[in-house]
Amino acid sequence: MTAGEWLKTACNLCYINCGIEVFVNNERLEKVRGDRSSPKSQGYLCNKATRIPYYAHHKDRLTKPLRRRADGGFDEIEWDVAIAEIAARLRQIADKHGGKTIALYGGGGQGNHAGGAYASGLLRALGSRSVFNALSQEKTGDFWVNGHMFGSQTCHTAEDVHHCDLLLVIGANPWIAHGFPNARDHLNQIRKDPARRLIVIDPRRTETAEMADLHLAVRPGADTFLLGALLATLVRSDRIDDAFIQEHTVGFSEVRQALLDIPIEQWAAAADISITDLERCAAMIAAAKAMVVRVELGIQQGINSTLNSYLEKLLIMLSGNFGRKGTNQLHSWLQPLWGNSPNQTFAPTGDAIIGGLLPPNIFPEAVLNDHPDRLRCAWVDSSNPANTAANTEAVERALRSLDLCVVVDVAMTETARLAHYVLPASSQFEKTEFTLFNFEFPTNYFHVRAGVLAPLAGTLPEPEIYTRLAIALGLLPGDNVLAPLREIARRSRPEFAAALRAFIAENPGAVPALVLYHTLGQTLPDGTAAAAPMWSAALACAKRSPQAVRRAIGASNDVADHQLGDLLFDTIVAARQGTAITEHEYDEVWSLISHSDRRVR
């Protein structure tokens, strides 16, 4: 890369992943500025991004694979030695105990998702199906509610903050933590507009609460009482949208009776909220033409978190603030960040599997109990449970008890110090990455960002780590087998699709993500091979929402439906500043509900 060059990428310090430009000089990232060409963030930049150079060149980076000694210390070893030894131990565990005793922990951080696609693909080829992820600890109550109300745990609500006249923030502080694009700009616009209002429910007088027209300082942990009392007030005073409820929902009569049974005064007192403020809040909601409810971990990781998520969505539905401009919505996906796993349980502990994920706080029990399918191997990718999961002592004991623990990371974390092997990964700006936190409606965005720095000597991007491991495990054919597929990918995408299907049918043990990486991936621009698994996601997205995709990428009706997915994929991998992937009409939100009648339960 040329010295003294501005290159496009994205910020990775929160899940909004704003588009940025970074100044690279002599393989060092020196300056950061907002990318005005980014269709999502349009040059917006917060103070967090200015620290990216510090993180990108941190002194604690790992540069050699490490193997733990019996005394707890580590020896540096060569990559080929590490891969051979790890592959042998993985195969031994899978053959003796079954792949179900192997789990992936992590699989990506903020804007660091490519590794997860390759890690999960490789472990699935060994028979593993268990994934522990912070999303499960934070969000699965919300996912579970969504599964019942909207028909799938991947139906996820979005917020059209930009056009609302009332923003209701519960358990969040977007002035500091963002959570929606260009958060500070939009909060300032609401504050300055006399026709728009802001309500904040939070125990603290946060920066966002300071700007609010009404701040309800709820007692910590009492959000359920406040939301229940608020809903009961709306129902008793007949300030709900009966026409919306009749047309778009099922089951309101039972809910109505449950809300009428709430003793409003007692519940308001339990929440430390006066009846006067409760009435004022209800009146502001009833007066709003378009309200958005914005929630975060403040109610999703506290007491009664699943019930909180349900009451929050009842507030949206009973007030009719869904599916219109300036209200809450669902959103499309390029590739869901989690799955849909209704009524599934994790055998070693009996816990529910929600969104295809397992919560970190059950990890110790999954390892330490005497169930025949207890975990014997943890593959930890971009995660640090010894620091972040509850009950540190139990987590450390579990990690020490594993037959095999491998950590893939950029630094020597607390978890890495307890692992058998530590593999040094390239950083997020030294490799191709993509963001899966694309939660917008009506226009949704996706950003494939090429590496802006060369990988630090001794480190490898995750696709290369998993390539070496797959070859050692016999899960990826040699280049002599993949080369013909690669040539077909260069020549014709439809031919490649047919050839790939035939190849996978003949090689069922192969890892599809890695096959794509070494075939289609080698045809992509700017070294973005790691984005190759998004091809199948682009095909599926275009099939689900063809008109929304056409609007987003400007495809004419002359483009046949079967060509649309390829055009979407090519648009994604070519746009260094990110690109829109879907652009919906507001009334199309109902098509995103998974219940066959498109009504909310």
Same domain as 120, residue 234: no
Cα angle 301, 306, 312; round to 5 = 95
Contact status, residue 140 vs residue 146, Cβ threshold 8 Å:
no
Query: Between β-strands 377-381 and 404-409, what pairing exists: parallel, antiparallel or unpaired?
Result: parallel
Same domain as 317, residue 194: yes
* Distance between CA atoms of residues 428 and 461, nearest Å: 9
Is there a domain that residue 207 lies in?
yes
Same domain as 187, residue 72: no
* Distance between CA atoms of residues 163 and 68, nearest Å: 55
Burial of 361 (0-12, 13-18, 19+ CB in 10 A): middle
Same domain as 267, residue 323: yes
Is there a domain that residue 98 lies in?
yes
Residue 2: predicted pLDDT? 52
Overall size of the chain counted in residues: 601
Q: Which residues contact 74 (CB under 8 A, 6 or more apart)?
A: 66, 67, 68, 422
Q: Which of 389, 424, 459 is a domain's end point? A: 424
Residue 370: predicted pLDDT? 94
Collapsing DSSP to helix, strand or coil, 434 comes out as strand
Is there a domain that residue 448 lies in?
no
Contact status, residue 156 vs residue 332, Cβ threshold 8 Å:
no
56: which DSSP letter? H
The total of structural domains in the chain comes to 2
Is there a domain that residue 11 lies in?
no
Residue 129 lies in domain: 66-138+348-424
Residue 314: predicted pLDDT? 98
Is there a domain that residue 294 lies in?
yes
Is there a domain that residue 445 lies in?
no
Same domain as 179, residue 309: yes
Cβ burial 190-208 (10 Å sphere, 16+ → b, else e): beeeeebbbbbbbbeebeb
Contact status, residue 408 vs residue 381, Cβ threshold 8 Å:
yes
CA torsion 108→114→115→117, rounded to 10°? 100
Is there a domain that residue 296 lies in?
yes
The tokens describing 299, both together, are 């109610």
Same domain as 218, residue 277: yes
Same domain as 119, residue 173: no
Contact status, residue 544 vs residue 579, Cβ threshold 8 Å:
no
Contact status, residue 56 vs residue 70, Cβ threshold 8 Å:
no
For tokens 């993180």, name the residue: 55
Main-chain phi, psi angles of 322, to 5 degrees: -150, 135
Same domain as 188, residue 322: yes
Q: Which of 424, 446, 464 is a domain's end point? A: 424
Could you tell me the sign of the dihedral formed by the alpha carbons of 560, 565, 566, 567, in that order?
A: positive
* Distance between CA atoms of residues 94 and 79, nearest Å: 22
Ranges of residues in the chain with a pLDDT under 70 are 1-3, 110
Q: In CATH, what number is assigned to the domain containing residue 193?
A: 3.40.228.10
Same domain as 368, residue 234: no
The tokens describing 139, both together, are 């969000």
Task: Return the closest-CA partner of residue 208 out of 107, 295, 334, 312.
Answer: 295
Q: In CATH, what number is assigned to the domain containing residue 99?
A: 3.40.50.740
Same domain as 174, residue 320: yes
Same domain as 274, residue 364: no
Q: Which residues contact 512 (CB under 8 A, 6 or more apart)?
A: 121, 504, 533, 536
Is there a domain that residue 99 lies in?
yes
Considering the entire predicted model, what is its pTM? 0.94
Contact status, residue 422 vs residue 409, Cβ threshold 8 Å:
yes
Q: Which of 424, 455, 482 is a domain's end point? A: 424
For tokens 């990964």, name the residue: 425
Strand blocks (E) in 453-507: none
Same domain as 311, residue 219: yes
